[in-house]
Amino acid sequence: MESSNHNNARSHGKDCTLVVMAKAPRHGMVKTRLAQSFPVEAVTELYRCFLHDTIGLARSLGKVDVAIMCPASDVEELKRLAQIQGAVEVVAQKGLGLAAGLTSVFAQFTANDRQRVVAFNSDSPHLPASVLENAFNALVEHDMVVGPTHDGGYYLVGARAAHPALFDGDGMGTKSALEILLARARGMQLSVALTDPFYDVDVESDLARLAAELRLAPARAPRTAIWLEQWRQAVTQLRTSSGKL
């Protein structure tokens, strides 16, 4: 494995597609671990903000095509949401769960000469755009690129071809997900580049970290920053010793 935190000779272009892995923002269906600490209505609205900011981040890359991969039942709702920010292709995955979604991404989008495809989660709307650019650049010379999270998972994975065996269900969503993915890539003799480690927002401590960062730099995820500030003010009014956000 080798790190990829610099620009290669060839930049991203028309052969690049960024696919956001998403669900429709419905009560009880998104960010369920956060819902253990916050009202489900608040978590659902927060996820809606994540989606808006993630799509905005994706579209900021310029010539990169942007799409959403989601469960079939969510397509129409996500089409309506995506239209607010311009034309974004929304595609139904084949099968259920994250593994099926990732398999669908590369089966769908590595065809038709779109040879550099990056699947990106919808839980890191504050990721620097340069990290996504570096991911596409890494695919010039590598078969795959992976963005590790601090908790043992990954926030993005990219490839130039479909490799369905990479995403067999074992270990998806666990603290060993990254390790399992990289082991499978080695077994398939795929060259892999790593982007900078980052964090996604799964639990209360992640959200507290995000809120603190966005108070200093709200432009990184503007809609999320506004929501978090409004939530903080509301909580402060209700509890004099919150300290959560």
Closest by CA to 141, choosing from 193, 64, 63, 178, is: 193
**194 pairs with which residues across the strands?**
3, 146
Q: Residue-wise pLDDT tens for the chain (245 aa)?
A: 444 443 433 445 568 999 999 999 999 999 999 989 889 999 999 999 999 999 999 999 988 999 999 999 999 999 988 876 666 899 999 999 999 999 999 999 987 656 899 999 999 999 999 999 999 999 999 999 999 998 899 999 999 999 989 998 655 666 789 999 999 999 999 999 999 999 999 999 999 999 999 999 999 999 999 999 998 877 665 554 445 45
Number of residues written out for the chain: 245
Which residues of the chain form beta strands (DSSP E)? 2-3, 16-21, 65-70, 89-92, 116-120, 144-148, 154-159, 192-194
DSSP 31: -
Closest by CA to 67, choosing from 24, 118, 113, 112, is: 118
Show the tokens assigned to 43: 């978590």
Query: What's the predicted TM-score (pTM) here?
Result: 0.87
Q: Give me the pLDDT at residue 47, please.
A: 96
